[in-house]
Amino acid sequence: MRLSAMEPVSRRAVAMSRVVLGLYAGVAVAGTHWPRLQIGDPNHPVDKMLHFVAFGGLAFFLSRGRYFRSTWALLLFACAWIVLDEVTQAVPGLGRSFSVEDMLAGWLGAGSTALMLWATRPLRLPIARLRRERFDAVVDLVLSEPSRFMALVASAAAGVTIGMPTAIMLNGVSETPTPVQAGIIGLVLGGLAASFVYVILAVRAMEDRMMERTLCLGCGQTVGGEAGPCTACGRTPLLGQWFPMPGLAPSAIVRACTPPVLGGLGTILFAIIAIQLSAGVVGTSEPVLLLNEWLRGPARGMEANFHIVLLVIVAALTVDRCRNRIAVRLEYGSRTCLGCGHDLRATSAPKGVGRCGECGAGFVRVEAGNP
């Protein structure tokens, strides 16, 4: 999407994300083309995991740059980039070479990011869609301020600084420590977790400010009241934009997510047991022998990538089911109060927003045919 087609707040947020994408892409290209780069212990080569993480990250920052409308288009572009990156490594003098295995590692990384983007995509149910639109707009409002954007970068850096040594330390107690691999995983998880926490806290603070000062989500200016489009930028306010939007109670979220989480854990357990049990039966068959030979030879270090992909698939399906179950419960919030369970069907909601007569919690009602 072109920057000029965006509203001022999004334009600033996306412009800064694209700067980060540019820096990241520069480092990734330099890293994959650096002459005769050799990292870590040759018995546990780390290059497959580096390709996985580097291109998974590229796909993530591409999505933040909002160049693509569909995740498929983004994935296709990232995969083409990976092919080009690998082909140009065959340039004489770099001391590096074209490797199908490195390319596969990159694709798996980009594919994992695409799966998580799918799992966190906007859902179609009206209330869920409204809440997501509001959340995304408030995130843009947060990131449109350079100081907050830098605070996010600093949080991610702090997460990396804590995550890396922690993972290396935890890995150190195993019988065959692989510190470089553990460090990379700790770096990614630490950075993601810290960024996530910062965004959630900053969004809460910004939501309060938006409601208190009736900020427009298009331009960030104070506009008066709920009526009509913004006089500064023309954006129409979301339904109940300056109205507290109660969510599900924590206990209801736990109830909604317990079955999917148990299902996910069960799937992982089942997969481990199935692999252990079948190893003796199929372990000597021709395809498995070939696969093992490949994993010990050119694909050395790839096994960890396959494990991560399997985990990501289970995690994506779990997140998707959990989000859908929460969305369905939120949809009933205009009929049964999310705060106290009071029947709201007789309670009026002028302009789509109302308050529960029992506990005072707010609710949003999207009329049929008027989404």
Cβ-based nearer residue to Zn ion, 300 or 342: 342
The alpha carbons of the chain give a radius of gyration, in whole angstroms, of: 24
Phi, psi of 2 (to 5 degrees): -75, 145
Stretch in the footprint of Zn ion (CB under 5 A) among 103-111, 216-224, 253-261, 265-273: 216-224
Query: Stretches 71-79, 107-115, 157-165, 227-235: which one binds Zn ion (CB under 5 A)?
Result: 227-235
Contact between 356 and Zn ion per CB under 5 A:
yes
Our CB check for Zn ion shows the closer of 112 and 241 to be 241
Nearer to Zn ion, 256 or 337 (CB): 337
Q: What does the block give as tokens for 39?
A: 């990292």
Rounded to the nearest whole angstrom, what is the least distance from the CB of residue 341 to Zn ion in the complex?
Answer: 7
Q: Which is nearer to Zn ion, 141 or 322 (CB)?
A: 141
CB of 10 to Zn ion, least distance (A): 12
d(CA 145, CA 272): 46
- Cβ proximity to Zn ion: between 46 and 219 the closer is 219
In the bound complex, what is the minimum distance in angstroms from residue 218's beta carbon to Zn ion? 4
Other beta carbons within 10 Å of 72: 11
- Comparing CA positions, the residue from 141, 201, 211 lying closest to residue 353 is 211
**236/292 with CB nearer Zn ion:** 236
Rounded to a whole number of angstroms, the minimum distance from the CB of residue 356 to Zn ion is 3
Question: How buried is 44 (Cβ within 10 angstroms: 0-12 exposed, 13-18 middle, 19+ buried)?
Answer: middle
Selected range binding Zn ion among 59-67, 166-174, 310-318, 334-342, rule: CB under 5 A:
334-342
In the DSSP assignment, the letter for residue 69 is S
Span near Zn ion by CB under 5 A; candidates 61-69, 93-101, 121-129, 350-358: 350-358
Closest to 210 in 3D by CA, of 150, 146, 148, 135: 135
Choose the stretch contacting Zn ion; rule: CB under 5 A; options: 144-152, 176-184, 249-257, 337-345: 337-345
3-class SS of residue 302: coil
Q: How far apart are CA 161 and CA 216, in angstroms?
A: 36
- Kind and range of the H or E element at 354? strand 353-355
The binding track of 233-262 with respect to Zn ion, each residue x by CB under 5 A or -, is x-x---------------------------
Nearer residue to Zn ion within complex by CB, 321 or 355: 355
For position 136 contacting Zn ion by CB under 5 A, the verdict is: no
Does residue 159 contact residue 190 with C-beta atoms inside 8 Å? Answer: yes
Using CB atoms within 10 Å of the CB of residue 53, give its burial: 0 to 12 exposed, 13 to 18 middle, 19+ buried: buried
Which listed residue (213, 340, 343, 371) binds Zn ion by CB under 5 A?
Answer: 340
Q: Is 230 in the site for Zn ion (CB under 5 A)?
A: yes
Helix (H) or strand (E) holding 364: strand 362-364
Residue 50 to residues 88, 301, 302, 305, 346: CA-CA distances in angstroms?
18, 10, 10, 10, 58
Is position 219 an interface residue for Zn ion (rule: CB under 5 A)?
yes
Number of residues that bind Zn ion (CB under 5 A): 15
Least distance between Zn ion and beta carbon 48 (Å):
48
- The residue ranges that bind Zn ion (CB under 5 A) are 216, 218-219, 230, 232-233, 235, 337, 339-340, 342, 356, 358-359, 361
